[in-house]
Structure 1
Amino acid sequence: MSEQAIADTTQEIAANLPYLRRYARALTGQQETGDRYAAATLEAILSDRSLYADDLGPKVALFRVFHAIWSSSGMPVDAQGEIGLAARAQKRLSKLTENTREALLLHTIEEFTVAQVSQVMQVDQSEARQFIDTGVAEMNDAMSGKVLIIEDEAVIAMDLETIVADMGHRVTGIARTETEALDLAATDQPELILSDIQLADGSSGIDAVNRLLARDGDRPVIFITAFPERLLTGKGPEPAFLISKPYLEEQVRSAVSQAMFFASTETLS
């Protein structure tokens, strides 16, 4: 392989690595664990360049190598020794039909087509479609909980509230600012937070979430933003669930259902 071809491949992988880290964290529930899988993926490509199928496109090729490693390791990650959200999540994930959650995440959050999901997972398209449909059904039936929405655009906030409520969850409130979010959470603590990044008074949804988690304890968060590049930098912890505006209802429903696996109370079953 020429030096230029190696350089091009390196650039392709670097551009898609933040998305792989997000996906890996969503699967494992922990950035550190997810990053170990991402690192193993890079090491595999470095040791055997043929694993990276250029003809599939950069993102599909990268995720395909990841999935070969993920599948061979006995997915999902063993929760032995883990505590808190990760352990609870993995306990619940073990009850799902094999491959459904992976397919659902790939299709809805990472926005792969069914054909691309089949390429990543190396299964027939019909099987990939079945995984996705089964995942949707199992996630929707899995659990319900309390959701706080942090969003300053009234129309979007109402739409999110409708989606969440239609799924059987209870919206504890809609906050337009950081202060409102902290006040609402203190009154009725949510098990999941949906948050925009830029809020009405110029405050940051990220700051609001960080202060809320520091005060009330860990819980899953879904960021819905027109500026995903602010969070998907490839450096430091990144959100397991990040949806770009404009969003699709299917994306929100999938992210909410998946995030509920990381809810912090045992009352969700």
Structure 2
Amino acid sequence: MSLATEIAPHLPYLRRYARALTGSQTAGDAYVRAALEAIVEEPESFPKDVDARMGLYRVFHAIWQSASVDVPAPDPETSSEFEKIAHERLASITPLSRQALLLTAMEGFSNEDAGYLIQKDAGEVTSLVKEALSEIEKQTTTSVLIIEDEPIIAMDIESIVTDLGHEVTSIAVTRDEAVAAAEEQKPGLILADIQLADDSSGIDAVKDILEKFAVPVIFITAFPERLLTGERPEPTFLITKPFQRSTVKAAIAQALFFKSTAAVPA
């Protein structure tokens, strides 16, 4: 099996991770592209002592830590203020503690594997994750709109949101309900499912909302690879169903850290 064939299934998830790490679709994809270019140029340097997924993320982190990627600046005429903030924060790089949290909570790596990727031992990763969680507890609270048509899932998300100290302003189950709730309450964050109760689309609901005002968005879907094809504008923050509570917490914290508006598929 060729190296390209081995790493291909893992690329959508690396792109998801890169976007969460950078707070930007453009920046995340730029780092992934640079990692792939490095693999193409020197395939013999690809890690041989680990599986393809670990090797791919290790190459990505080598690129990330070098901070040598030229990330296009946001277009001042088309980019939101949140996207500009995310780009500015790249100058200081996402703290190592948040890298450890995203690798373990969002990407599902063990502490040992995450340590291999960021070149720390498992004990240090444990400490970094605790540090990140402590930072999250100090984060400014906000109001949250949940767009989800499954009552049990909606209740679970609501519990996670309130545990973090945020306020759930409304739970919408259709596109029209979501748009109306957003217009009335102006939430500081949106958590949106893709398929809604009346067969309407959470993506369309978010597009309607973002036409009216800027707000960070996290999409929740059982099929993340369908939104990470590279063929159209895509979400910056994406959670896979079924999800772990720690995954949702990490995504919320990172979205609010950057205050980055998610790009929405056309």
TM range (shorter): 0.7 to 0.9
How many angstroms apart in 2 are the aligned matches of 1:264 and 1:235? 21
How far has the Cα of 1:62 moved from its partner? 0.6
Q: Which residue of 1 is the match for residue 142 of structure 2?
A: 145
Whole-angstrom distance in 1 between the partners of 2:232 and 2:49: 31
Partner amino acid, structure 1, of 2:62? A
Cα pair 2:164 2:249 within 8 Å, conserved: yes
Cα contact 1:21–1:234 (8 A) shared by 2: no
Q: Which moved more, 1:221-230 or 1:120-129?
A: 221-230
Matches within 5 A, 1:1-269: 5=1, 8-73=2-67, 84-89=81-86, 98-217=95-214, 219-263=215-259
Partner Cα separation in structure 2 for residue 80 and residue 178 of structure 1 = 29
3-state SS of paired residue (1:142): coil
Deviation, structure 1 residue 182: 0.4
- Residue identity matched to 2:50: L
Work out whether residues 29 and 85 of structure 1, in 8 Å CA contact, stay in contact via their aligned partners in 2: no
RMSD of aligned residue pairs (Cα, Å): 2.6
Deviations 1:167-209 (A, max 9, x none): 1111110000000000000100111110111110110111111
Moved over 3 A (4+): 77-83, 89-98
In structure 2, do the counterparts of structure 1 residues 141 and 94 end up closer, same or farther at CA, with 3 Å as the change threshold? Answer: farther
Q: How many Å apart are 1:133 and its aligned residue?
A: 1.6
The TM-score with structure 2 as length reference comes to 0.87
Identity score, percent: 49
Q: Which amino acid aligns with 1:252?
A: V
1:226: Cα distance to partner?
2.2
Distance 1:61 1:30 in 2: 23
Does the residue aligned with 2:138 lie in a helix, a strand or coil? helix
Distance change in 2, residues 1:94/1:168 (3 Å): farther
Partners of 1:146 and 1:169 within 8 A in 2? yes
Greater shift in the superposed pair: 125-134 or 228-237 = 228-237
Q: CA contact under 8 A between 1:231 and 1:238: conserved in structure 2? A: yes
Which stretch has the larger CA shift, 111-120 or 80-89?
Answer: 80-89
Structure 1, gaps ≥5 residues long: none
Once residues 94 and 167 of structure 1 are traced to their aligned partners in structure 2, the CA distance between those partners, rounded to angstroms, is: 28
Measured after TM superposition, the shift of residue 104 of structure 1 is: 1.0
Q: Deviations over 1:222-260 (max 9, x none)?
A: 112223232133433332222222211111111111111
Q: Which amino acid aligns with 1:62?
A: L
CA pair 236-119 structure 1, distance change in 2 beyond 3 A = farther
Contact kept? 1:150, 1:205, Cα under 8 Å: yes
